[in-house]
Amino acid sequence: MAEPLKLALAGLGTVGVGVLDLLQQNRALIEARAGRSVEVVAVSARDRSRDRGVDLSPYRWCDDPRELAEVEHADIVVELVGGSDGPALELARGALTSGKGLVTANKAMIAHHGMELAASAEQSGLPLKFEAAVAGGIPVVKGLREGAAANAITRIYGILNGTCNYILSEMETTGANFADVLAEAQAKGFAEADPTFDIEGVDAAHKLAILAAIGFGAQLDFDGVACEGISRIQSADIEQARALGYVIRLLGIADLDQVDGQPDRLLQRVRPCLVPRGHPLAHVDGATNAVVAEGNFSGRLLFQGAGAGAGPTASAVVADIVEIARGETGAPFSVPSARLQAMERAELGARTGRSYMRFTVADRPGVLAEIAAAMRDAGVSIESLIQPAHPLENGGADGGEALIAMVAHKGREADAAKALKQLEGSDSLTAKPLFMPILSN
Amino acid sequence: MAEPLKLALAGLGTVGVGVLDLLQQNRALIEARAGRSVEVVAVSARDRSRDRGVDLSPYRWCDDPRELAEVEHADIVVELVGGSDGPALELARGALTSGKGLVTANKAMIAHHGMELAASAEQSGLPLKFEAAVAGGIPVVKGLREGAAANAITRIYGILNGTCNYILSEMETTGANFADVLAEAQAKGFAEADPTFDIEGVDAAHKLAILAAIGFGAQLDFDGVACEGISRIQSADIEQARALGYVIRLLGIADLDQVDGQPDRLLQRVRPCLVPRGHPLAHVDGATNAVVAEGNFSGRLLFQGAGAGAGPTASAVVADIVEIARGETGAPFSVPSARLQAMERAELGARTGRSYMRFTVADRPGVLAEIAAAMRDAGVSIESLIQPAHPLENGGADGGEALIAMVAHKGREADAAKALKQLEGSDSLTAKPLFMPILSN
């Protein structure tokens, strides 16, 4: 039996404590699978005195997580501090320059600094792994890096944020509006006190950028993710979608456009979309995550599971640790970071597809004609149009407001954007129109 | 750049040709991901002259696949001949004893001889991989071995046979009966001329036994799989299931019973089951496969994709090859074969759960009372009972036959079996009753 693999663990929130629990509970099977035992030698967290329900006395304590990079005899730093920069990044850099491998659940740090960290790890022949940074307990980083390794992947998309999916599923089931469901999710601990990163799609964008880099062999481009959240979705939209045979999901979608068989431009979007009820993602409810990757030989692969939580995230962190213990320590993004290709960003408006548009309008004659004219002028062809009778969330019948929803035939998003831009100037509209792509089946 | 990884490929059916195609089409990205090029040096197949649409002239030809074990300069034998024994097994043994690694898509061979082959590979420090043997293009072997490596897994189940799933989905959609849909599937190439292995569940049992060994760390026990196929399912059963809120799927289910927290007994079954419409497996249609693994930290993980076909299977074969090229060559069944535990078989009848039972009966007074009495005597509690008006497939109204379907409350399968055994002797029944477990959500 080889030497134990020794860990220095930074961050003892729910995930950190979950990792300690897992290593304890599943000790024997991890040793059997890893071929060696895994031992924690040092830990760091903000408050030493807090009762976390675990005995920390066997471990060396460090007040400053950055000290863990220097702990003697540790092979691996496990970074669960969080935050794209600050102590987490300093610790990550320090670990790799001190000859330690790095396992992290930090999606923001990897999305922003993953290329630099990968280059540093590769230069020193050290492992860098971040399965837990994407989609919690679902082994989708390994799924792309290893399972789909034989494929040219041209599309990766999925439900990458459990909070948003929970909110949308709840709105769907209860008919409640966004603000109420969000408040309830916060009360239940399914949403943060400041939910901005989740509901505005930033968290999903971090994950999408990481998946796109691994799947496409592209340089990480988090800033290139066009990001829109779910805060403008009304229960009326969900009802309209249902009537049309769809559910609304916040999707991260990364497309690699091919020109003459060569990867050319990268399109990364996080957006609420209409998902046809026959699509596997339409049945992903609650805080569950799911990722689809389309390979040129594998076809469509789906990975689904818990997107967050102490247990699932610890499961992903320790899966990385087991891989390292087994000596499986290849390039973090599947190809060496120097070979990740710089991809131009594709123009958002060039995408073609069917789409859903919703307008809140003053309830008076001529409004519909105005919308229809704007669509005609922009070359948008209307497939169906619904003007429901039920009142709106804000205002509604007594406010003299009405809702108009429409589905446009397959066309360029730029054309729809042009029509919407023209209408935004109109005083017939009482709010900014909402545009959602319709996912093809 | 390291030396190329050299392959000797046995079997040039659709999968073998798919592997050659893939290695050609995705050559550059495989080299980038594997860190070295992958080259075929020798091939073998039954008929050299057959036009397969690929140029075989660059490769050394062997008439007998077993010669590939001796080909100089080959690092890996890729076995795509098929069959649990015979030339495939001889080639596999020969490759490992001649110092070559082995990649295979052969589920029958692994289910029967996987332990022996793994021991041989481990003894010589050679890789043995068989991702393509289970669920085609879905990387579920890696998903269990690597993605879920941190978890004690207590249950693995899923849709493991595309032919059966296609037939059941078609029966569901069209209302046609089993024999007609099977004939149509054969005509379309979705079912073999001799479909026995598929429709009687043997193929699914091969895959289930392999998954159970990896997931549970148990010795392979293919003979321990209780196996029942789909040939007795009638369109009336599908209709009844639908009315009750279920779909019928052929599932492989492996359970690891725990006693005092220690794995104790293994239950492996392949059976048609009623799947509640809210369960992700209920939405897996056509030839798609899907596997669920339940880990003690990850929770429920789902892997879904194409279960067969040249492209998906080649994708899985080459994913193994890429892993080997990367030097990731650990124990084939996740733990060394000598550490796989011998598990006793759990008693089938000890399982508890709700169930569906269907009787075809002579349409005369007293039959229902007889069935109800048998249930009462065996301690089976009836939850609901349906005696539909529509005719049966064979016989029907004019034949004086009727169908009675019932759902039993949660109880021991042994009790239901006792009732059914008693009823089998009755001349009121015109055929053997059909029993299907109901999957809990």
Nearest by Cα to A373 from A423, A339, A415: A423
- Residue of B298, B304, B335 to mutate for A, most A C-beta atoms under 10 A: B298
Q: Does A24 touch chain B (CB under 8 A)?
A: no
Q: What is the DSSP letter of A106?
A: -
Phi, psi of A37 (to 5 degrees): -80, 160
Q: What is the pLDDT of residues B13-64, one digit of tens each?
A: 999 999 999 999 999 999 999 999 999 999 999 998 899 999 999 999 999 9
Q: What is the C-alpha to C-alpha distance for residues A125 and A96, in angstroms, rounded to an integer?
A: 10
Nearest by Cα to A101 from A119, A78, A80: A78
Task: Indicate if the pLDDT at residue B260 is higher than 90.
Answer: no
Residue of B nearest to A311 (CA): B297
Task: Indicate if the pLDDT at residue B193 is higher than 70.
Answer: yes
Q: What is the mean pLDDT of chain B?
A: 94
A304 with B299: Cβ contact below 8 A: no
Q: Are B30 and B38 in contact (CB under 8 A)?
A: yes
* Backbone φ/ψ region at B231: left (φ over 0), alpha (ψ -120 to 50), beta: alpha
Q: Are A353 and A116 in contact (CB under 8 A)?
A: no
Residues in chain B within 8 Å Cβ distance of A322:
146, 149-150
Residues in chain B within 8 Å Cβ distance of A22:
150, 297
ipTM, 2 decimals? Answer: 0.95
Q: Does B158 touch chain A (CB under 8 A)?
A: no
Q: What is the pLDDT of residues B373-386, one digit of tens each?
A: 999 999 999 999 88
**In the structure encoding, which two tokens stand for residue A404, read together?**
């108009």
Q: What is the DSSP letter of A3?
A: P
Q: What is the C-alpha to C-alpha distance for residues A125 and A107, in angstroms, rounded to an integer?
A: 22
Strands A153-159, B262-276: parallel, antiparallel or unpaired by DSSP?
Answer: unpaired
B residues 381-440 lying closer than 8 A (beta carbon) to A? none
* C-alpha pair distances (Å), B4 with each of A314, B41, B63, B101, B215: 37, 11, 25, 14, 33
The pLDDT value recorded for residue B190 is 83
Helices marked H in A104-217: 107-124, 140-142, 162-174, 178-188, 196-199, 202-216
The pLDDT value recorded for residue B399 is 55
Q: Three-state secondary structure along chain B?
A: CCCCEEEEEECCCHHHHHHHHHHHHCHHHHHHHHCCCEEEEEEECCCCCCCCCCCCCCCEEECCHHHHHHCCCCCEEEECCCCCCHHHHHHHHHHHHCCCEEEECCHHHHHHHHHHHHHHHHHHCCCEECHHHCCCCCCHHHHHHHHCCCCCEEEEEEECCHHHHHHHHHHHHHCCCHHHHHHHHHHHCCCCCCCHHHHCCHHHHHHHHHHHHHHHCECCCHHHEEECCCCCCCHHHHHHHHHHCEEEEEEEEEEEEEECCEEEEEEEEEEEEEEECCCHHHHCCCCEEEEEEEECCCEEEEEEEECCCHHHHHHHHHHHHHHHHCCCCCCCCCCCHHHCECCEECCHHHCEEEEEEEEEEECCCCHHHHHHHHHHHHCCCEEEEECCCCCCCCCCHHHCEEEEEEEEEEEEHHHHHHHHHHHHCCCCECCCCEEEEECCC
Q: What is the mean pLDDT of chain A?
A: 94
Average pLDDT over residues B187-214: 95
How would you class A60 by CB atoms within 10 Å of its CB: exposed for 0-12, middle for 13-18, buried for 19 or more? middle
Nearest by Cα to A156 from A103, A105, A210, A228: A210
The pLDDT value recorded for residue B396 is 46
Q: Which of A142, A207, A421, A432 is catalytic?
A: A207
Residues in chain A within 8 Å Cβ distance of B327:
327-328, 330
What domains, with CATH codes, occur in chain B?
Answer: 5-133 (3.40.50.720), 140-306 (3.30.360.10), 349-437 (3.30.70.260)
Q: What is the pLDDT of residues A291-342, one digit of tens each?
A: 999 999 999 999 999 999 999 999 999 999 999 999 988 999 999 999 999 9
- Give me the torsion for CA of A413, A414, A417, A421, rounded to 10°: -170
Q: What is the C-alpha to C-alpha distance for residues B285 and A299, in angstroms, rounded to an integer?
A: 15
Residues in chain A within 8 Å Cβ distance of B309:
299
Nearest by Cα to A133 from A155, A166, A160, A96: A160
B311 with A319: Cβ contact below 8 A: no
Q: Does B279 touch chain A (CB under 8 A)?
A: no
Q: Are B247 and B277 in contact (CB under 8 A)?
A: yes
Q: Does B323 touch chain A (CB under 8 A)?
A: yes
Residue of A nearest to B147 (CA): A139
The pLDDT value recorded for residue A389 is 54
Q: Does A142 touch chain B (CB under 8 A)?
A: yes
Q: What is the C-alpha to C-alpha distance for residues B253 and B289, in angstroms, rounded to an integer?
A: 14
Q: Look-up: residue for tokens 């971040």?
A: A130
Q: What is the pLDDT of residues B66-125, one digit of tens each?
A: 999 999 999 999 999 999 999 999 999 999 999 999 999 999 999 999 999 999 999 999
Sign of the CA dihedral with B74 first, then B78, B80, and B82 last: positive
Lowest-pLDDT choice from A378-382, B400-404, B412-416: B400-404
Closest-CA distance of chain A to residue B336, Å? 8
Nearest by Cα to B131 from B309, B314, B340: B314
Q: What is the C-alpha to C-alpha distance for residues B427 and B441, in angstroms, rounded to an integer?
A: 37
User: CB-CB: which of A217, A304, A323 is closest to B29?
Assistant: A217
Residues in chain B within 8 Å Cβ distance of A311:
296-299
- Contacts (Cβ under 8 Å, ≥6 apart) of B227: B200, B201, B202, B204, B205, B269, B270, B271
Task: Give this prediction's pTM.
Answer: 0.95
Q: What is the C-alpha to C-alpha distance for residues A21 and A27, in angstroms, rounded to an integer?
A: 10
Secondary structure of residue A47 in the 3-state scheme? coil
Q: What is the C-alpha to C-alpha distance for residues B238 and B393, in angstroms, rounded to an integer?
A: 12
B305 with A300: Cβ contact below 8 A: yes
User: CB-CB: which of B295, B305, B321 is closest to A298?
Assistant: B305
Catalytic annotation, residues of B: 207
Q: What is the pLDDT of residues A358-407, one digit of tens each?
A: 999 998 888 999 999 999 999 999 999 887 655 555 544 455 788 999 99
Q: What is the DSSP letter of A438?
A: B
Q: Does B139 touch chain A (CB under 8 A)?
A: yes
Nearest by Cα to B59 from B112, B123, B7: B7
Q: Are A165 and A284 in contact (CB under 8 A)?
A: yes
Closest-CA distance of chain A to residue B388, Å? 29
Closest-CA distance of chain B to residue A337, Å? 11
- Residue of A1, A5, A22, A33 to mutate for B, most B C-beta atoms under 10 A: A33
- Residue of A134, A146, A288 to mutate for B, most B C-beta atoms under 10 A: A146
Longest dimension (CA), chain A: 81
The pLDDT value recorded for residue B350 is 84
Q: Does A26 touch chain B (CB under 8 A)?
A: yes
Q: Look-up: residue for tokens 């960003």?
A: A345
Q: What is the C-alpha to C-alpha distance for residues A58 and A273, in angstroms, rounded to an integer?
A: 49
Q: What is the C-alpha to C-alpha distance for residues A154 and A279, in angstroms, rounded to an integer?
A: 18
The pLDDT value recorded for residue A62 is 96
Nearest by Cα to B42 from B25, B22, B57, B23: B57
Q: What is the C-alpha to C-alpha distance for residues A340 and A218, in angstroms, rounded to an integer?
A: 5
Closest-CA distance of chain A to residue B84, Å? 25
Q: What is the C-alpha to C-alpha distance for residues B236 and B208, in angstroms, rounded to an integer?
A: 28
Q: What is the DSSP letter of A146?
A: I
B299 with A314: Cβ contact below 8 A: no
Q: Are A43 and A12 in contact (CB under 8 A)?
A: yes
B312 with A299: Cβ contact below 8 A: yes
- Residue of A151, A156, A169 to mutate for B, most B C-beta atoms under 10 A: A151
Closest-CA distance of chain A to residue B104, Å? 15
10-residue block means of pLDDT along chain A (441 residues)?
92 96 97 97 93 92 95 96 96 98 98 98 97 97 97 97 96 96 92 93 98 97 97 95 96 88 86 95 95 97 96 98 94 96 90 94 89 96 79 52 93 95 91 95 75
Q: Name the amino acid, one letter, at B427.
A: D
Q: What is the C-alpha to C-alpha distance for residues A403 and A186, in angstroms, rounded to an integer?
A: 29
**In the structure encoding, which two tokens stand for residue B171, read together?**
């029966």
Task: Indicate if the pLDDT at residue B281 is higher than 60.
Answer: yes
The pLDDT value recorded for residue B312 is 97
User: CB-CB: which of B138, B296, B298 is closest to A301?
Assistant: B138
Lowest-pLDDT choice from A279-288, B298-307, B389-398: B389-398
Closest-CA distance of chain B to residue A418, Å? 38
